[in-house]
Chain A
C-alpha cells in the first residue's frame, strides 16, 4: 500500500503540532498544539489499521492527559513574573537531537522499509492477545496505573503540608 494523501495530511498535522509545542510562547497555544499533535497521532494509528489504539489515544490523551494539563495550568495560574514561556536556540541540544533522530532512522531503516497498514486487526484478536500472551503486562499496567494514581495524590497532598 503506497503512502496516500491522507497519510501526508495526518503527518503534516502531527509535525505542525509538534513544532508548535516547541515554539509556543503562550501556555494555551502550547496546549492547543499538543492537542493537534495527539489528534494527528491518533489519526495515524487509524491509518495503520489500529482503530482501537486510535480511540484509546483520543480517550486517554486528548480526553484525559490534555485535560489534566489544562487543570494544572488553570490551578497554577499565569507566571507571576508575567513572562511568556521562554524559548531559546541551543546548538548543542539541536545537534544531540538531530543526531539521535538520524541514528534512529539509520538503525531502523532495515526493519521498517515501507509504510504499510496492518490487516486483520480486530478488537477480539487484541483482547485475546491482552488476555493471552500479554496477560502479565496487562496486569502489571493495572497495578502501575493504581500506583501512579496513589503516588500523584501523595505528591500533591505532601506538597500542601
Chain B
C-alpha cells in the first residue's frame, strides 16, 4: 500500500508541476517525475506478479520509451528557446 501511495503522490506532484511551471525545461522535468512515478507503480506491481522477469522486461521497454520522450522533448525545447520562447505562454501556435 505504501508503494501505491508513493507512486500516486509522485504522479500527482509531477502533474501539478507540468500544469503550473512556466519554464519549458521545468515542465519537462515535471513530466519526468510523472513518468518516474508511473514506472515505480509498474515495478511495485511487477514485484507481486507471478512472472516478475517479464514485468522487468516491460519496465525496461517503458524506460527506453521515456528516454526517447526526453530526447525529443529537449530537442523541441532547444529550438523553442533559440527562437526566444522560453516559457509556456510564449508558445501560441502549433505549425506542421
Contacts and interface: CB of A to CB of B under 8 A. Distances in A.
Contacts of B29: 21, 30-31, 34, 69
Given A49-B47, A117-B47, A130-B60, A100 B15 contact: yes
B31 to A, nearest CB: 10
A145 B67 contact: yes
Interface of A: 3, 7, 11, 14-15, 18-19, 21-22, 24, 27, 30-31, 34, 37-38, 41, 44-45, 48-50, 52-53, 56-57, 60-61, 64-65, 68-69, 72-73, 75-76, 79, 85-90, 93-94, 96-98, 100-102, 104-105, 108-109, 111-122, 125-126, 128-130, 133-134, 137-138, 141, 144-145, 147-149, 151-153, 155-156, 158-160
Interface in B48-83: 48, 51-61, 63-72, 74-79, 81-83
A95 B81 CA distance: 30
6 contacts: A24-B26, A30-B25, A34-B32, A45-B43, A104-B41, A144-B68
Contact of B48 (A30, A114, A144): A114
Given A65-B66, A148-B71, 20 more contacts: A11-B2, A21-B26, A22-B17, A22-B21, A30-B29, A53-B56, A53-B59, A56-B63, A65-B32, A72-B78, A76-B81, A85-B22, A86-B22, A90-B16, A98-B12, A101-B12, A112-B1, A112-B41, A148-B72, A156-B79
